[in-house]
């Protein structure tokens, strides 16, 4: 008995360009699943194939225990929240939300009840008579949500819905979306290029690039244990260091760069003796904290960049390696100064080794 959503070897080609290249994944029913990747990676195409606006050229799509590919969009148990909301401009908010149920035959009192319930759910109970052009971006967002959720879909699809909102509103909506998903219980499939959205809301994330899925896992898994160089560099901020690989033994490797020899964890083993080390900014400790780290060396501070909640230090190690380190900014603690020579260090497992690009 299948559950949730499943993609089996799905491919899609546009003209000569392979947008989606044989992807496989399973989304557990009732979870919050994100497709994360840069522009053009195929995440929107994947979502649209799930919605029914595109047909896969190869492969199968399953929603629950029924095959979905080949079924037109208006017959699928999915509903979508569009990027620019796609509200019907000639209808009021009430009529917009009522559209889905009315197509399925709801009328009169029953219809009004469903609409009212959906609008209450998104906090817009009093806005029924307004037209879309009278609403703010955030309000339109919620109407789009209500219009989709009123149909009680099995799967709710969200296509970068928060992109047009300002930062504060976006963060507020992220919390609301997560809350909604938990109370409604439907499977949410969320497409975005913004990693903080994916990391804060998702139960599972699929990282995509150039039509393929690089890794699927929980936010912690993909962040701390990236399996490809792309995933490692896409999430967070990281240093990418080209190294010589001296030996590989299972999960660990010994590498060297400009005379600095250290251990690293293996993300993917290189084959030709050369590799790239991905080391996150926040993994490098400076000063007293460096003493407890596996890998230790000294470095001179070249630049200090203050960005509010964190401070970035651009460093050059004794061996001449350029690194950037990030420390949280704690008020009252003095930041290190430009030109200072400091101890730096990191844990071996924080450095992930991948084949060279």
Binding site for other proteins (CB under 8 A): 51-53, 55, 63-64, 66-80, 82-84, 86-90, 99-100, 103-104, 147-148, 151-154, 184-185
Rounded least distance, CB 116 to other proteins, Å: 16
Nearer to other proteins, 88 or 306 (CB): 88
Nearer to other proteins, 64 or 335 (CB): 64
Nearer to other proteins, 72 or 109 (CB): 72
Length of the chain measured in residues = 357
Rounded least distance, CB 6 to other proteins, Å: 14
Q: What is the DSSP string of 25-74?
A: EEE-TT-EEEEE--TTSSHHHHHHHHHTSS--SEEEEEETTEE-TTS-GG
Rounded least distance, CB 308 to other proteins, Å: 36
Rounded least distance, CB 17 to other proteins, Å: 15
**CB count in 10 Å sphere of residue 157:** 24
Q: Reading across the β-sheet that carries 32-36, which strands appear in turn?
A: 78-81, 155-159, 187-192, 32-36, 204-209, 212-217
Rounded least distance, CB 61 to other proteins, Å: 10
- Beta strand 351-355 pairing with 260-266: parallel
Q: Alpha-carbon distance 345 to 357, whole Å? A: 26
Nearer to other proteins, 117 or 221 (CB): 117
Rounded least distance, CB 46 to other proteins, Å: 16
Nearer to other proteins, 183 or 272 (CB): 183
Q: Alpha-carbon distance 36 to 41, whole Å? A: 9
Distances (CA, A) of 33 to 47, 54, 124: 11, 20, 26
Q: What is the DSSP string of 207-256?
A: EEETTEEEEEE-HHHHHHS-SSHHHHHHSS-EEEEEEEEEEEETTEEEEE
The angle formed by the CA atoms of residues 346, 351 and 353, to the nearest 5 degrees, is 160
Nearer to other proteins, 148 or 248 (CB): 148
Nearer to other proteins, 8 or 86 (CB): 86
Rounded least distance, CB 165 to other proteins, Å: 17
Nearer to other proteins, 52 or 345 (CB): 52
Rounded least distance, CB 205 to other proteins, Å: 24
Nearer to other proteins, 78 or 202 (CB): 78
Q: Alpha-carbon distance 189 to 203, whole Å? A: 10
Nearer to other proteins, 49 or 293 (CB): 49
* Phi, psi for residue 274 in degrees, rounded to 5: -125, 150
Burial-class residue 305 by CB neighbours within 10 Å (0-12, 13-18, 19+).
exposed
Rounded least distance, CB 133 to other proteins, Å: 12
Is residue 347 helix, strand or coil? Answer: coil
Rounded least distance, CB 100 to other proteins, Å: 4
Helix (H) or strand (E) holding 178: helix 167-184
**CB count in 10 Å sphere of residue 106:** 17
Q: Retrieve residue 39's tokens.
A: 């522009």
């Amino acid at each position: 008995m299948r559950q949730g959503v499943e993609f089996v070897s799905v491919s899609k080609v546009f003209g000569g360009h392979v947008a989606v290249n044989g992807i496989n994944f399973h989304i557990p029913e009732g979870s919050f699943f994100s497709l994360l990747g840069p522009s053009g990676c195929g995440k929107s195409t994947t979502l649209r194939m799930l919605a029914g606006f595109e047909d896969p050229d190869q492969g199968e799509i399953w929603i629950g225990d029924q095959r979905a590919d080949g079924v037109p969009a208006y017959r699928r148990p999915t509903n979508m929240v569009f990027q620019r909301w796609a509200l019907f401009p000639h209808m009021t908010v009430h009529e917009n939300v009522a559209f889905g149920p009315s197509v399925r035959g709801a009328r009169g009192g029953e219809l009004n009840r469903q609409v009212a319930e959906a609008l209450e759910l998104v906090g817009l109970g009093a806005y029924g008579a307004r037209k879309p052009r009278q609403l703010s971006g955030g309000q339109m967002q919620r109407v789009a949500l209500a219009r989709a959720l009123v149909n009680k879909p099995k799967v709710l699809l969200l296509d970068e819905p928060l992109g047009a909102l300002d930062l504060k509103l976006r963060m507020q909506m992220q919390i609301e979306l997560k809350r909604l998903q938990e109370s409604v219980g439907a499977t949410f499939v969320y497409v975005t290029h913004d990693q903080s959205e994916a990391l804060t809301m998702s139960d599972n994330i699929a990282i995509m690039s150039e039509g393929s899925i690089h890794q699927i896992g929980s936010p912690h898994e993909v962040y701390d244990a990236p399996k490809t160089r792309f995933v490692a560099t896409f999430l967070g901020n990281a240093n990418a260091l080209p190294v010589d690989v001296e030996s590989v033994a299972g999960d660990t490797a010994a590498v060297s760069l400009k005379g600095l020899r250290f251990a690293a964890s293996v993300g993917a083993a290189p084959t030709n003796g050369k590799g790239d080390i991905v080391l996150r900014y926040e993994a490098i400790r400076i000063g007293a904290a460096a003493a407890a780290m596996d890998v230790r060396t000294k470095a001179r501070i070249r630049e200090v960049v203050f960005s509010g909640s964190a401070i970035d230090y651009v460093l050059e190690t004794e061996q001449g390696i350029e690194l950037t380190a990030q420390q949280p900014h704690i008020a009252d603690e003095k930041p290190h100064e430009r030109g200072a020579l400091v101890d730096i260090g990191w844990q071996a497992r924080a450095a992930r080794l991948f084949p060279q690009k």
